[in-house]
């Protein structure tokens, strides 16, 4: 199989958990528009699929996700799992149950199912030493997933995501996205990791990186994700958005 599956007659199957969020939905839409990859989604509940979606969806309790991964054996797994402080009821244990425990359990299940690659959507500033609870949990799960045993692990650390969220209103985030064209250039170098980035670029980078074969652990900031997205776009023979 060639990298990115450019000369394959059958699209490369890529597993996805976290399909109901902004990143998950865009991954389904972007992969459905071409023939390089096809998403195999696993979710806890049914969801309204994007128009024209070409995707396999499996609905199962989280305890059964390992069995699904064992059955479908995708080439790689993209993890876009994540909740918000508000959805978790502002409860640290409820937040950790998704953003740490479920992510880690799914990673273990994927390795046990023989899946060699994982792409983990994390966050800029993730660090287990952070005082900020959100970034601390993200950093902790990065460190623990790194020890699970994937042949290749790609960790994506996007800044503020620009994109359309379905049924998830975040007023403060919306204002920040609106102001990002003005704010981004003003951020000092030490804060540039938090600059905004299109959710489409993150998704394209995730799809391309999921097909890479070189072994190792790789962490990608905004600029690295933009480079990976350009490579994906080149393979898809489509222009890169601004």
The confidence score (pLDDT) of residue 8 equals: 43
Q: Which domains does the chain have, with CATH numbers?
A: 3-167+197-236 (3.40.50.720)
CA distance 181 to 108: 39
Cβ-based neighbours of 214, under 8 Å, separated by 6 or more: 152
pTM above 0.75, yes or no: yes
Provide the residue-wise pLDDT of the chain in tens; the chain has 242 residues.
Answer: 333 344 445 899 999 999 999 999 999 999 999 999 999 999 999 999 989 999 999 999 999 999 999 999 999 999 999 987 778 778 899 999 999 999 999 999 999 999 999 999 999 999 999 999 999 999 999 999 999 999 999 999 999 898 765 655 455 444 444 444 545 555 556 667 778 899 999 999 999 999 999 999 999 999 999 999 999 998 876 544 44
Structure tokens at 181: 């064209």
Nearest to 69, CA basis, from 107, 96, 98: 107
The confidence score (pLDDT) of residue 168 equals: 53
Output the CA–CA distances (angstroms, integers) from residue 62 to 14, 43, 109, 199, in the order listed.
18, 8, 11, 26
């Amino acid at each position: 199989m060639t990298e990115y599956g450019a000369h394959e007659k059958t699209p490369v199957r890529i597993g996805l958990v976290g399909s109901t969020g902004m990143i998950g939905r865009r991954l389904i839409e972007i992969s459905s528009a071409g023939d390089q990859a096809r998403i195999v989604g696993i979710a806890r509940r049914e969801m309204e699929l994007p128009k024209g979606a070409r995707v396999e969806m499996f609905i199962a309790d989280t305890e059964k996700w390992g069995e699904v991964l064992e059955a479908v054996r995708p080439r790689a797994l993209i993890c876009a799992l994540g909740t918000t402080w508000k959805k978790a009821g502002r409860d640290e244990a409820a937040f950790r149950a998704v953003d740490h425990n479920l992510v880690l359990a799914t990673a273990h299940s994927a390795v046990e199912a023989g899946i060699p690659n994982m792409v983990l959507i994390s966050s800029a500033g993730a660090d287990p030493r952070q005082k900020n609870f959100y970034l601390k949990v993200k950093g902790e799960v990065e460190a623990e997933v790194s020890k699970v045993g994937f042949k290749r692990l790609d960790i994506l650390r996007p800044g503020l995501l620009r994109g359309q969220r379905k049924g998830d209103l975040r007023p403060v985030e919306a204002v920040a996205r609106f102001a990002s064209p003005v704010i981004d250039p003003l951020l000092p170098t030490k804060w540039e990791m938090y600059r905004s980035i299109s959710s489409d670029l993150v998704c394209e980078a995730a799809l391309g990186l999921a097909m890479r074969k070189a072994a190792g652990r790789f962490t990608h900031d905004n600029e690295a994700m933009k480079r990976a997205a350009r490579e994906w776009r080149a393979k898809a023979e489509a222009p890169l958005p601004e």
